[in-house]
């Protein structure tokens, strides 16, 4: 009886992920190299998938490694992907590589965050931008979205806050839709209450589909574009959930100012 309940749970979980990914049974079956009939039996609890099939289905759904492990557990199998603590000695090469990447982005700000947007590491140009924000926002664990959009954080310095804040919130909502979780939902709700109402349309100065962060400083206004990078071939949950966020200059004036500020900082 217990085994039947577990199988039914797996079928429900699989159907839930397929629905979130907006895939039909046929589309998922073709991706996973099986038949729609077999997939229908799996989702209905009438067929018990082997471990390899569960992994193929999880890969075909493009699930994060953490969720692939959860799907394996739901099917009654042990997790495949290990989750190593970031401070574990085995990850020293990864930590070293990340620090080199952060320093390689100077004089431009760059950070490493985890799956919840919690700050793992940052280079000096980023710390320089956050100088003067409320101390409690810099007490670990530091959430970057909250640091940027909180009225005691960087929000008062963002010239296009009404526009850029919703760019951040919409990105978080997209993450929450793809990989649901209470923590991310709570963060989105918190940020919505902090920022101005959504503007009716983007201003004329945004660069195509890229919304620049217009950040005021004592000297002038910086125009920054953000890029995200992650380990595309990671097989460890912790490493797969890390991502690099770099703030790159959107114009020559910003590039020159960041270079000047970085030089001044290291005199």
- Write the DSSP string, 9-27: HHHHHHHHHHHHTT--HHH
Tell me phi and psi for residue 213, to 5 degrees: -90, 115
3-state secondary structure of 98: helix
pTM: 0.84
Tally of CB atoms within 10 A around 179: 15
* CA distances to 20, 100, 207, 231 from 66, in Å: 17, 26, 35, 14
Residue 243's pLDDT band (boundaries 50, 70, 90)? very high
Which domains, from first to last, does the chain contain?
2-74 (1.10.260.40), 89-265 (3.30.450.180)
pLDDT single digits (tens) 249-265: 999 999 999 999 877 76
Q: What distance lies between CA 222 and its chain's CA centroid?
A: 24
State pLDDT tens for residues 59-91.
999 999 999 999 999 999 999 999 999 999 999
Number of H helices, E strands in the chain: 12, 5
pLDDT at 210: 65
Q: Give the three-class secondary structure for 69.
A: helix
Distances (CA, A) of 124 to 82, 105, 133, 135, 210: 32, 10, 15, 17, 25
> Does the structure show a pLDDT above 70 at 202?
no
Report pLDDT digits (tens) over 143-154. Answer: 999 999 999 999
Per-residue pLDDT at 4: 34
Structure tokens at 28: 């998922």
Residue 30 has pLDDT above 70, yes or no: yes
Q: Mind listing the pLDDT tens digit for each residue in 89-145?
A: 999 999 999 999 999 999 999 999 998 999 999 999 999 999 999 999 999 999 999
Please give the Cα distance from 34 to 136 (Å, whole number). 52
- Mean per-residue pLDDT of the chain: 89
pLDDT of residue 177: 83
């Amino acid at each position: 009886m217990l085994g039947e309940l577990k199988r039914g749970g797996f079928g429900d979980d699989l159907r839930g992920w397929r629905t979130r990914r907006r895939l039909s049974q046929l589309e998922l079956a073709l991706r996973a190299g099986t038949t729609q009939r077999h997939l229908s039996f799996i989702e209905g609890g009438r067929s018990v998938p082997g471990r390899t099939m569960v992994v193929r289905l999880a890969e075909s759904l493009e699930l994060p490694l953490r969720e692939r492990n959860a799907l394996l557990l739901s099917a009654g199998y042990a997790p495949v992907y290990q989750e190593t603590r970031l401070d574990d000695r085995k990850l020293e090469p990864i930590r070293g590589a990340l620090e080199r990447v952060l320093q390689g982005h100077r004089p431009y700000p760059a950070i490493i965050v985890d799956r919840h947007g919690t700050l793992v590491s940052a280079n000096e140009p980023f710390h320089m931008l956050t100088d003067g924000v409320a101390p409690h926002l810099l007490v670990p664990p530091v959430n970057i979205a909250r640091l940027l959009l909180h009225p005691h954080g960087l929000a008062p310095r963002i010239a296009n806050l009404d526009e850029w804040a919703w760019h951040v919130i919409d990105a978080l909502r997209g993450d929450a839709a793809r990989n649901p979780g209470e923590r991310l939902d709570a963060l989105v709700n918190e940020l919505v209450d902090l920022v101005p109402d959504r503007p009716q349309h983007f201003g004329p100065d945004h660069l195509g589909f890229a919304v620049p962060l217009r950040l005021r400083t004592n000297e002038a206004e910086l125009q920054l574009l953000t890029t995200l990078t992650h380990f595309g071939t990671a097989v460890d949950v912790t490493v797969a959930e890390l991502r690099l966020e770099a703030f790159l200059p959107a114009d020559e004036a910003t590039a020159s100012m960041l270079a000047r500020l970085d030089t001044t900082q290291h005199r």
